[in-house]
């Protein structure tokens, strides 16, 4: 009888423990289900954000790519693919000199590691556009306990550079033209003195002695005055021409 009671007591204890274990199991299962739902939600959100990020990157006209610490491409956008007339599969895993990018010198590399960002001006020979000039911004992307990656954004500055060079060339031409005009005016100012002197001297002579001169002598001085005036008119015309064409 005593044995029977002990057995029943043991069974009840086991049943209670089983019920408790079942309750704990259900609680843990409920927590797991909630975590699974949260995980799926976060995963879906991450996938949507990743999809949006890729859409933004691929709609950019700038060359955007990421390479690892070994300078091997792990991501490139469609602008890179289109510019180099190739495919993503052919680029991924290749070193960055595959697209014509050079290794950074020690000074630039040190600055990049120190400040996590570096902006350089570089020229690239592109298969579809020839030589183009880019402003390349590099960002260090670091993950804890993982190797670093470098994000590069290349903005084509060729048109701006050509415009700047054209402006510099135009400024030099204008400076040269201004110098020529200045020299011409200096020469012309000296040239004006000769006909003016001739006109003044002939006028004074005519005024003082014209009544006593023969017609031939008077005409000689009048012709000198007329010739000097024509010469001055020609020089003035040249000055006006320069003014209208500068």
Q: Which residues of 33-60 are buried (b: 16+ CB within 10 A; e: fewer)?
A: eeeeeeeeeeeeeeeeeeeeeeeebeee
Give me the mean pLDDT over the 119-133 stretch.
Answer: 83
Residues paired with 75 in a beta bridge: 66
* pTM higher than the cut 0.85: no
What is the structure's pLDDT at 126? 81
| CB 223, CB 176: distance < 8 Å | no
**φ/ψ (deg, to 5) at 144:** -60, 130
User: pLDDT tens for residues 226-245?
Assistant: 777 777 777 767 666 665 56
What is the structure's pLDDT at 73? 92
Give me the mean pLDDT over the 114-138 stretch.
Answer: 84
User: pLDDT tens for residues 41-91?
Assistant: 888 888 887 788 888 888 888 999 998 888 899 899 999 998 888 999 999
Q: Which residues of 114-130 are buried (b: 16+ CB within 10 A; e: fewer)?
A: eeeebeeeeebebeeee
Percent with pLDDT over 70 in the chain: 80
């Amino acid at each position: 009888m005593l044995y029977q009671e002990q057995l029943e007591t043991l069974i009840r204890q086991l049943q209670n423990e089983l019920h408790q274990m079942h309750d704990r199991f259900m609680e843990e299962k409920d927590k797991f289900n909630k975590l699974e739902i949260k995980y799926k939600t976060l995963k879906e959100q991450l996938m949507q954000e990743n999809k949006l990020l890729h859409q933004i990157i691929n709609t950019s006209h700038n060359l955007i790519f990421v390479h690892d610490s070994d300078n091997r491409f792990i991501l490139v956008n469609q602008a890179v693919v289109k510019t180099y007339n190739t495919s993503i599969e052919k680029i991924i895993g290749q070193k960055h000199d595959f697209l014509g990018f050079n290794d950074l010198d020690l000074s630039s590399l040190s600055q990049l590691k120190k400040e996590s960002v570096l902006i350089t001006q570089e020229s690239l020979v592109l298969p579809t556009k020839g030589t183009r000039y880019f402003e390349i911004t590099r960002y260090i992307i670091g993950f804890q306990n993982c190797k670093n990656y470098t994000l590069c954004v290349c903005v084509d500055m060729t048109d701006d550079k050509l415009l700047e060079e054209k402006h510099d060339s135009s400024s030099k031409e204008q400076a040269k033209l201004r110098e020529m005009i200045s020299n011409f005016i200096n020469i012309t100012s000296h040239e004006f003195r000769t006909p003016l002197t001739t006109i003044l001297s002939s006028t004074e002579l005519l005024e003082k002695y014209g009544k006593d001169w023969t017609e031939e002598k008077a005409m000689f001085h009048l012709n000198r005055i007329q010739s000097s005036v024509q010469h001055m008119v020609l020089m003035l015309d040249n000055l006006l021409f320069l003014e209208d064409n500068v």
